[in-house]
Structure 1
Amino acid sequence: MCRSIKTLRPPFVESVSEDDVRAAALQYVRKISGFRAPAAHNAEAFDRAVEAVTRASEELLGALQVRGSR
């Protein structure tokens, strides 16, 4: 689907910044909405979606237990 979104969990990356997670969320929302940059009348909904996906992604990454990691 979004081939340019990188895996953000160990062992694929050592550390993940908030910017990394937000960039992945932005790519996802761009892909599913079909907008690279939404028109002004869609900007608020687009931005809310990016924030919601960012929060959900951070929650997921925080809850994952990766076997073999320390």
Structure 2
Amino acid sequence: MCRSIKTLRPPVTEQVGDDDIRAAALQYVRKVSGFHHPAAHNQAAFDEAVDAVTAATTQLLANLVIRGTGTRRSA
């Protein structure tokens, strides 16, 4: 869907920080909404969506079990 969002799980990307996760969430919300910079009357909804996608992505990455290691990613 959005080719500029990079894979954030090991072993593809070893060092993933909160900024990386938020940047991916922002790209996703921009793509889905069609807005790079939302108008003032849409800003709160846009920011809420970025926060929700960031939280969901953080949870997903924390709960993934990497094949061959049997361990979860440390968030």
TM-score of the two chains, using structure 1 as the length reference:
0.96
Where structure 2 has 5 or more consecutive residues not aligned to the other structure, the ranges are: none
Greater share of strand: 2
Matching residue of 2:6? 6
Any idea what SS the aligned residue of 1:14 has? coil
Where structure 1 has 5 or more consecutive residues not aligned to the other structure, the ranges are: none
Q: What is the Cα-based RMSD across aligned positions, in Å?
A: 0.9
Q: How many residues align?
A: 70
Spell out structure 1 runs of 4+ moving beyond 2 A.
Answer: none
Q: Percent identity?
A: 67
Measured against aligned partners, the alpha-carbon deviations of 1:30-49 in whole angstroms (never above 9, x if no partner) come to: 00000000000000000000
